[in-house]
Amino acid sequence: MNTTSTISSSTRDATPRSRSTRWVAAIGALAATVANVALWVGGRAADVGFLVSPLFGPPVMQVGVVSVVLTTLLAFVAGWAVLTLAARRSRQLVRVVMAAAAVTAVVSTAGPLSTALDTATGVLLAAMHLITGAAFLAAAATVRAR
């Protein structure tokens, strides 16, 4: 009796690759979160208020550590979902997503810089945007290289 495997090499390769890609995403998201929390803790130690005046909602709100963690993780996961879909299509599309992520990280700094009530808050929150973007790009580069 002869049995033939129905698992193709591409199917066998997909599981370890997607598993390792998930690890890269988790490590990147964790690194960005830890760095941003460290910035927030350092800012609070330096008596930075982290007060912003958003365009919508309450007139003044304080950005807390929970907001920092959730926003970092949400942005990273949303970007990673788009990157994963792009990776299924082509490497060129992955490059496009990476370029869009870099532009988004830089352009999004305008939000905290324009709504912060003091310069230190604006600079630290903007730095958090750039850190999240840099961590995403570092993790995404491993996907592109595969």
Render pLDDT for 86-131 as a digit per residue (tens, 0 to 9): 999 989 999 999 999 999 999 999 999 999 999 999 999 999 999 9
pLDDT, residue 132, reads: 98
Half-sphere exposure of 144 (CA within 13 A, CB side): 14
What's the pLDDT at 11? 39
The pTM of this model reads 0.84
The answer to whether position 124 is within a domain reads: yes
Q: How many structural domains compose the chain?
A: 1
Q: pLDDT of 81-91, one tens digit each?
A: 999 999 999 89
Query: Residues of the chain with pLDDT > 90: what percent?
Result: 75
What is the residue range of 85's domain? 17-145
Backbone φ, ψ for residue 62 (5° rounding): -100, 130
Instruction: Output the average pLDDT for the chain.
Output: 88
- Asked if the structure places residue 11 within a domain, the reply is no
Cα–Cα distance, 45 to 93 (Å, whole number): 42
Task: Check if the beta carbon of residue 83 is closer than 8 Å to that of residue 144.
Answer: no
Is residue 9, in this structure, part of any structural domain at all?
A: no
Whether the Cβ atoms of residue 108 and residue 76 lie closer than 8 Å to each other: no
